[in-house]
Structure 1
Amino acid sequence: MKDGSLSAVFSRTFGAGPRRVLAVHCSLAHSGAWRGLGDILKDEVTLTGFDMLSHGRSPDWDGRGDFQTRNVEAGLALLDSEASAVDLIGHSFGATVALLMAQARPDKIRSLVLIEPVLFAVTRLEAPELQAALEEEEAPFNDLLRAGEVEQATRLFNRMWGTGKPKWADMPEQARASMVRGMKAVPMSFEALYLDDKCLLKPGALDPVAMPVLLLSGGASQPVMSLINEGLARRMPRANTRVVPEAGHMLPITHAGVTAKILDQFWGGKE
């Protein structure tokens, strides 16, 4: 690609199986988040994950364009390097990136798995009271961001959406610094996630996403997440939802074994 920052996007591969899979991680993480899933499925899949801009070993977002769109472009560059269609997985913010990739290049995607996509515009529209309660819960770290207290904002954000272990103070300094780096990009996606600036919820917008789609959520996650999945599923021709009762937002990491089993069933046409 002509854009230097996008051509420098880092990716890594897990497994050596026949099924080609491309995966997009959540905010504040990196492509290594897929290691657990990739190791379980190593004989079945070759899973490639890339570090989003401002995350992992990829360069910082340079502020040009739209943060979500720039990561979509990075993902599409990897997708275009594949000889044939792949299975695409996205988690959290990465799931919104994956959804836009599927909308843009449905011919290159065999199936789509969206794990807890944080497209809060769905519940702003369809469950406004529940969404308002979530945004009230988010207010403290948003206030800290506006005040320039990025590390404290990251700590609260991680407490709300992360696994809960290890605690912030127990994390290695490098891990905390990496998360703070990623946190700086989070508020740049407000319009994309809360206001649907890509018009994904407009009638017919997701009709091109006609491949088999599975939307996963954790039963112990924020209450809006299953509703977001249901709202998106209604807008896609071949989409189904599934809840992992004991899991939270980070289910592909905390419940990699369960997730792997569900993916096997989905890819095998048994979901």
Structure 2
Amino acid sequence: MTFPSEPQPSIYVRRIGEGPRKLFALHCTIAHSGAWSGLAAALSPKVCTTAPDMLSHGRSPDWDGQGDYFDLVSRLSAAELSEPMDVIGHSFGAMIALRLAIEHPERVRSLVLIEPVFFAIAKRDAPRLFDQYEKDAEPIAEAFAKGDKTLAARRFNRMWSTQISPKWPDLPERTRANMVRGIDAVPAVHAALYDDTFGLLNPENLKRVSMPVLLLSGSESHPVMPAICNGLKQRLPDATHTKVLGAGHMLPISHPVETAALIDEFWETRSPLKAD
């Protein structure tokens, strides 16, 4: 796999904390880098977090629709991963993190994948759960087919929320607008997530992910998610899978303290910092 060489736009990068452990964090679709603030605070004072905004998200510029979105955001993220760091990704951000670990394993000390939306795994390993997910996601596809981005964002947000999450009308207008702004990323990466068009599941590629890996899923998330996490666990050389009890897909935001405790334990046992 190679990235295109044409010039790319600049993206916004958030820095949080001044701890000794350098953390590189990749947010989920229709969110932004500020989504890591709660988790970074729960991990403080151990971490210094670098968190970029994807194109069409947060303070980064809009994607112009040219080229492949997964390629583009992966390359922009790789440019910010300039030294060995502990890498964490959530949802589609976890897909970028996995690709970075394959493309640049020397820059990834450890890898935390939170609910990676790698549906190609579920298609292979758990077809019944995949079919159920497809049925549950039909309203989102229908909204895209109608060209109604606001409805697509609203239904996408609802599908990945839990009963305790704020309803769409209760969200601030600016938050809703930002979600609509980023929703084009969903169809743009569909083939990569569902059909593995970049060959991430090639065994030779997955062998490169030799660093310790922690897979996290929420106990209340869609049942397709633990199936995906278990599938990755079986395919990666050194991976473990743990559930965050009571949490859904948005677990790093809704349960930052519980998530931080699991990550901290993983780091201490599998990827401790070396003394200077």
Q: CA deviation at 1:235?
A: 1.3
Cross-structure match for 2:106: 107
2:212–2:270 contact (8 Å) kept in structure 1: no
Deviation at 1:270, TM superposition (A): 6.1
Q: Which amino acid aligns with 2:106?
A: D
Residue of 51, 62, 65 corresponding to 1:63: 65
Q: Is the 8 A contact 1:151 1:180 kept in 2?
A: yes
Letter in 2 for 1:136: K
Q: 1:74 corresponds to which letter in structure 2? A: L
Structural mapping, 1:1-271, within 5 Å: 3-5=7-9, 8-80=10-82, 82=83, 85-163=84-162, 165-269=165-269
- The alpha carbon displacement at 1:129 in A equals 1.3
Residues of 1 paired with 2:37 and 2:185: CA distance?
Answer: 24
Q: 1:20 corresponds to which letter in structure 2?
A: K
**1:2 shift after superposition:** 6.2
Contact 1:141 1:156 in 2 (8 A): yes
Task: Answer whether contact 2:8 2:76 (CA < 8 A) is retained.
Answer: no
Rounded Cα–Cα distance in structure 2 between residues aligned with 1:176 and 1:38: 24
Tell me how far 1:4 sits from its aligned partner.
Answer: 4.0
Cα distance per residue 1:173-220 (max 9 Å; x no partner): 111110001112211111000011011222332000000000000110
CA distance in 2 between counterparts of 1:39 and 1:49 reads 14
1:134 deviates by 0.5
Residues 78-134 of structure 1, C-alpha deviations (whole Å, 9 max, x = no match): 012x3xx10000000000000000100000110000000000000011111110111
Structure 1 outlier segments of 4+, above 3 Å: none
How many equivalent residue pairs? 266
SS at the partner of 1:90?
strand
Aligned-residue Cα RMSD (Å) equals 1.4
Give the TM-score of the pair, scaled to structure 2: 0.93
SS of residue matched to 2:137: helix
TM-score by length of 1: 0.95
**Equivalent-residue separation in structure 2 for 1:223 and 1:205 (angstroms):** 26
Structure 1 window deviating more from structure 2 (65-74 vs 163-172): it is 163-172
Point out where structure 2 has 5 or more consecutive residues left out of the alignment. 272-276
- Quote the Cα distance in structure 1 between the aligned partners of 2:51 and 2:203: 31
User: Distance in 2 between the 1:36 and 1:230 partners?
Assistant: 27
For the residues of structure 1 that align with 2:266 and 2:87, how far apart are their CA atoms?
A: 12
Q: Does the residue aligned with 2:242 lie in a helix, a strand or coil? A: strand
Q: Over residues 244-270 of structure 1, what are the superposed CA-to-partner deviations in whole Å (9 max), with x where a residue is unaligned?
A: 121110000111001111111011016
5+ residue gaps in structure 1? none
Is residue 25–residue 34 contact of structure 1 (8 Å, CA) maintained in 2? Answer: yes
